[in-house]
Structure 1
Amino acid sequence: MGPWISMDEACARLGVRPQTVYAYVSRGKIEVMSDPVDTRRSLYRAEDVATLAKRKQAGRKHETLATNTLFGAEPSIPTAISTFLRERLYYRGRDAVALAENATLEEAAQLLWDSAQPVNFSSSTKVAKPGRVAAFKTLAELAATGHSTHGRMTRVLHAEGQGLVGQLANAFGAQPGQQALHMRFAQGWALKPAGAELLRMAMVLLVDHELTSSAFASRIAASNGASLPACLLSGLSTLSGPLHGDASGRVKALFNDVERQGEDQVITHYLSTGQALAGFGHHLYPEGDPRAAALLARFEPPPVIARFIAQATRLTGLQPNIDVALAALVIHCGLPDDAAFGMFATARSIGLLAHSLEQLGVGQVIRPRGRYVGVMPERV
């Protein structure tokens, strides 16, 4: 068996369709590389395929299949919102990086929500002390009094979703007003037009990323008929973890060390102690996160940060992901420390609402079963 095989051979050995192979790749179960003979084709690691085939032949019990599905061995929820193909992200079939070249968040939302009408995130709500606390307080209050999503027209839910995103943006520091959302953020953070353009591109790149844990959380809430703000709060609470939407905070802390100590000392410390560098590598993009590459190509990070990124990439072989690009953007534009999470959360709220709305069309409650492994119950 050669080390790399074609898609046809991988499908034959696994007994699956190409879509399933793509799903295995997106979950990091099968490593992929470009065919050196024909760059339009991909090759798949034969060893990974053999391992999966062996598991299939051995057979799996029902509870094992359910556990693996829940924890990401294979897709479990159909979605038309976004997907990955050959290490590229697509929003409803459109390349996300290409879309981010010119699209606004409003245009991205219209696409993801499959809305017949243009989207407008304008808001007049004033926030005395913008930030993460204000954002979660706003959503919590709305969730406590919100109406169920059941029995309501899609266009009505779209209108409510626009208001939610607009209020959330204000809570994170956007200036109240009628302008496009990235312009309102730029005004709130006193940025010039060039900075506003960087915010626009970054946020469009962050709008969705297929079935993430936060999207799943929002879908669970939606499947139970929770209000839109409750669905959004469920998703953003999950997003706030350092292994998800707040990962750029770990990168920003790393950059702070670099600015104080210099790139050589920081890299030496991490590599000599075997610690992973936050923000480098992504299991969905073995050859590099195209979102990060597109955003970093638009501006020059401070020299010490640029040197650190280049040196870390060279020594680890791992490319910077979107969290590195976002943290570098915060430093480049002189934004508040929590601005990266504010941008991420506001942009991703569009995707979380898209998943919530899509889940309403399924009409079933998401209710996984637990596999009890505790003390055997006493007989009565």
Structure 2
Amino acid sequence: MAAWLNRDETLDLLGIKPQTLYAYVSRKLIAARPDPKDPRYSLYSRADAERLLARRGRRAAEVAEHAISWGEGVLPTSISTVSGGRLFYRGRDAVRLAGRATLEEVAALLWDAPAIPSFRKLLAFDDGRPPVEAALSMLAGAAARSDPTFGRAPASLLDEAALLLCSTAAALGADLSKGLGIADGFARHWKCDSQATAAIRTALVVLADHELNASTFAARVTASTGAPLAAAALSGLSTLLGPVHGGATLRVRALFGDVERVGAQRAVQERLARGEPLPGFGHPLYPDIDPRGAVLLELVRLPADLDELARYGSAATGLQPNVDFATAAMAMAYDLPKDAAFRIFAAARMAGWLAHAMEQARSGRLIRPRARYSGPPLEFT
């Protein structure tokens, strides 16, 4: 099924007039792009059109329920958005930023700060534990000791955010001694060459934020109560562990193991025969290709079997490799630890979680949706 429709197909699907379609596009309810065959004409996102069709005629409560799962926006934010198949950080193209920026510079942009504040030392963590466990434990301790966010001066929150960002990266394995930045810190710890270091820096930048994903929503809900920044960050990292979120990188790595065992074509065929989605391919917000994965794969020379997986998986599913595929492939290509992709993801997304937590705290609003009850009849007598 084509991801993009021409004008007549879109009008027919929605049963609307051209002026209504153009209004939907101007309001960013339907994504549009030039037709590659004839740039004088436009193509329109099938997914957006079908989403609008599904909403039509439904009660407000049902529309709100749908918005929770890949639906329309439910919270205002000036931090990031996905539009037209591209990711933007405060209006700037994230992929373009990845060509030269560091995670620290992107964090400052997301936090609307001139630069990352400096600090004397990192938070202590137990380096005898596995890195992810060490980061979780460190954040839990910081959350228990830190002040609430409400009423705090912006400069105070920025100082704490910088400390949490760098301390979490260190707990996850980045060697930040001798004044190294986060990308260089991971590279030093893993003894990477310059090519691998550039790929790690790029991954950190493109993974720094992704509007209102599950972990970011969890962080914002926590921050909306006035809880400490560390508590919001802990909520984000805990949510990232899920296998359909940050844990997807580990599922992709497991697919790579199947490829080593039986070959790319058989590994794909076995997954599809079991009715399982192919991890690492496609993304609901990018009908064509995940630009984060694309820019990262340009920097990584894939082993022959993973290159075959990318080609055969795309041919079989009609979907392109996404950023989970790219970060897992990067880790394998440069012989990094099996959980390296997840650790890079977590270190990067910490910048976004903290940005959203501070934005939510400044709003002073509690996030408290109502539930649509579907249980037994209520007994009022």
- Is TM (by shorter chain) over 0.5? yes
Q: 2:138 matched to 1:134?
A: no
2:82 partner SS? strand
Conservation of the 8 A alpha-carbon contact between 1:214 and 1:235:
yes
Conservation of the 8 A alpha-carbon contact between 2:116 and 2:162:
no
Q: 2:374 matched to 1:373?
A: yes
The alpha-carbon distance between structure 1 residues 15 and 101, as it changes in their structure 2 partners (threshold 3 A), is closer
Conservation of the 8 A alpha-carbon contact between 1:173 and 1:188:
yes
| Residue 153 (structure 2) aligns with | 153
The alpha-carbon distance between structure 1 residues 256 and 152, as it changes in their structure 2 partners (threshold 3 A), is same
What do residues 282-319 of structure 1 show as CA deviations (whole Å, max 9, x unaligned)? 11111111111111111212111111111211232210
Conservation of the 8 A alpha-carbon contact between 2:94 and 2:206:
yes
2:168 partner SS? helix
CA distance in 1, matches of 2:118, 2:26: 38
1:84 partner SS? strand
CA shift, 1:141, in A, is: 1.1
Counterpart mapping for 1:264-283 below 5 A: 264-283=265-284
The alpha-carbon distance between structure 1 residues 13 and 186, as it changes in their structure 2 partners (threshold 3 A), is closer
CA shift, 1:272, in A, is: 3.7
Conservation of the 8 A alpha-carbon contact between 2:149 and 2:229:
yes
The alpha-carbon distance between structure 1 residues 13 and 262, as it changes in their structure 2 partners (threshold 3 A), is closer
Which amino acid in the other structure matches residue 72 of structure 2? E
Conservation of the 8 A alpha-carbon contact between 2:55 and 2:63:
no
Counterpart mapping for 1:143-182 below 5 A: 143-177=143-177, 178-182=179-183
**Which segment drifts farther, 110-119 or 251-260?**
110-119
CA shift, 1:16, in A, is: 4.8
Which amino acid in the other structure matches residue 212 of structure 1? N
| Residue 4 (structure 2) aligns with | none
**Which segment drifts farther, 297-306 or 248-257?**
297-306
CA shift, 1:49, in A, is: 3.7
CA shift, 1:67, in A, is: 1.9
**Which segment drifts farther, 124-133 or 151-160?**
124-133
Given candidates 58, 74, 77, the residue that maps to 1:76 is 74
| Residue 301 (structure 1) aligns with | 302
| Residue 3 (structure 2) aligns with | none
Which amino acid in the other structure matches residue 99 of structure 1? L
| Residue 86 (structure 1) aligns with | 84
CA distance in 2, matches of 1:176, 1:94: 28
Which amino acid in the other structure matches residue 337 of structure 1? K
| Residue 346 (structure 2) aligns with | 345
What do residues 221-251 of structure 1 show as CA deviations (whole Å, max 9, x unaligned)? 1111000000111111111111111111100
**Which segment drifts farther, 33-42 or 77-86?**
33-42
CA distance in 2, matches of 1:355, 1:302: 37
Counterpart mapping for 1:17-166 below 5 A: 18-22=26-30, 34-36=34-36, 38-39=38-39, 42-44=42-44, 49=49, 52=52, 55-56=55-56, 58=57, 60-119=58-117, 123-124=121-122, 125=124, 127-166=127-166
Given candidates 2, 6, 18, the residue that maps to 2:8 is 2
Conservation of the 8 A alpha-carbon contact between 1:14 and 1:52:
no
Which amino acid in the other structure matches residue 330 of structure 2? L
How many residues are treated as equivalent by the alignment? Answer: 370
Conservation of the 8 A alpha-carbon contact between 2:331 and 2:337:
yes
2:363 partner SS? coil
Segments of structure 2 that go 5 or more residues without pairing to the other structure are 1-6
CA shift, 1:42, in A, is: 4.0
CA distance in 2, matches of 1:231, 1:260: 41
Which amino acid in the other structure matches residue 106 of structure 1? E
| Residue 319 (structure 2) aligns with | 318
**Which segment drifts farther, 318-327 or 308-317?**
308-317
CA shift, 1:10, in A, is: 6.3
CA distance in 2, matches of 1:33, 1:91: 21
Which amino acid in the other structure matches residue 304 of structure 1? D
TM-score norm. by structure 2 comes to: 0.89
CA shift, 1:271, in A, is: 3.6
| Residue 29 (structure 1) aligns with | none
CA shift, 1:55, in A, is: 4.4
Conservation of the 8 A alpha-carbon contact between 1:5 and 1:46:
no
CA shift, 1:20, in A, is: 4.1
What do residues 239-266 of structure 1 show as CA deviations (whole Å, max 9, x unaligned)? 1111111111100000011112222321
CA distance in 1, matches of 2:258, 2:348: 28
CA distance in 2, matches of 1:330, 1:52: 39
CA shift, 1:99, in A, is: 0.3
Conservation of the 8 A alpha-carbon contact between 1:148 and 1:228:
yes
The alpha-carbon distance between structure 1 residues 21 and 145, as it changes in their structure 2 partners (threshold 3 A), is same
1:242 partner SS? coil
CA distance in 2, matches of 1:338, 1:40: 46
Conservation of the 8 A alpha-carbon contact between 1:14 and 1:49:
no
CA distance in 2, matches of 1:363, 1:51: 31
What do residues 140-196 of structure 1 show as CA deviations (whole Å, max 9, x unaligned)? 111122210011111111110111111111111111322111111111112122221
Which amino acid in the other structure matches residue 116 of structure 1? P
TM-score norm. by structure 1 comes to: 0.89
What do residues 193-228 of structure 1 show as CA deviations (whole Å, max 9, x unaligned)? 222111101110100111111111111111110000
Counterpart mapping for 1:225-240 below 5 A: 225-240=226-241
2:29 partner SS? helix
Which amino acid in the other structure matches residue 68 of structure 2? L
Conservation of the 8 A alpha-carbon contact between 1:122 and 1:166:
no
